[in-house]
């Protein structure tokens, strides 16, 4: 791999160089980007009716509590068969939210699946792209009312599912909400301000080494 050669990305998340900073290939030369972004966002997935129904039910539960989730949510839940690092995700594209869960979650205990769906659903509320105070207060309301354990950071053990490798770091695009897992410290985790998401958004460290 020649220095200065641009790195090719086929993935949903891309990290691009920042103006004034080092070139992408220089900055990332030790980072093996294509190996890191393993969540399979653009991977194979199919729709599973069970999850669609569960999402409907979770929406109804949230509605009863007056939680202002978006009306622009795709009713079909994506099942990500290649999800390696995340239980679920909520993508925002063309004015619409798309919720995905990992296949391992879809096949796991129903309560866990509902919790992941609810976690992602809450990200569609105004001001809830991150796990800030607002998101936390809605999660607490759902937990109180329905006995859920919706958490900011979820582990295999707490969900009763297997097979998800837990990253030590997760960066989140502040614009499109996409998440970038990392399994070890790197220039990206130390200096996220030097990088950009493919959409142009800035990246913020959502989970650090002390968080999981």
Q: Which residues bind Zn ion (CB under 5 A)?
A: 173, 175-176, 178, 197, 199, 201
Is 16 or 48 the residue whose CB approaches Zn ion more closely? 16
Shortest approach of Zn ion to residue 123 CB, angstroms?
A: 6
Q: How far apart are CB 86 and Zn ion at their closest, in Å?
A: 9
Nearer to Zn ion, 83 or 178 (CB): 178
Other CB atoms within 10 A of residue 34 CB: 13
Closest separation in Å from C-beta 88 to Zn ion: 8
- Tell me the closest approach of the beta carbon of residue 3 to Zn ion, in angstroms: 27
- Report the residue number, 107 or 202, with the smaller CB distance to Zn ion: 202
Considering the complex, state which of residue 45 and residue 135 has its C-beta at the smaller distance from Zn ion.
Answer: 135
């Amino acid at each position: 791999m020649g220095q200065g050669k641009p790195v090719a990305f086929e993935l949903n998340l891309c990290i691009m160089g920042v103006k004034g900073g080092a070139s992408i290939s220089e900055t990332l030369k030790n980072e093996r980007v294509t190996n890191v972004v393993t969540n399979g966002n653009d991977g194979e997935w199919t729709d599973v009716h069970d999850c669609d129904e569960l999402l409907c039910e979770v929406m109804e539960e949230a509605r009863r509590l007056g939680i202002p989730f978006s009306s622009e949510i795709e009713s079909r839940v994506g099942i990500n068969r290649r999800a390696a690092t995340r239980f679920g995700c909520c993508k925002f594209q063309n004015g619409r939210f798309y919720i995905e869960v990992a296949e391992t979650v879809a096949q796991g205990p129903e309560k866990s699946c509902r919790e992941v769906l609810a976690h992602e659903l809450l990200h569609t509320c105004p001001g809830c792209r991150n796990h800030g105070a607002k998101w936390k207060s809605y999660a607490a309301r759902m937990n109180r009312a329905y006995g859920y354990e919706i958490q900011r950071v979820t582990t295999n053990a707490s969900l009763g599912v297997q097979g998800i490798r837990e990253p030590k770091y997760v960066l989140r695009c502040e614009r499109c909400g996409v998440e970038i897992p990392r399994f070890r410290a790197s220039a990206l985790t130390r200096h996220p301000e030097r990088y950009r998401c493919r959409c142009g958004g800035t990246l913020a460290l959502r989970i650090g080494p002390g968080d999981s």
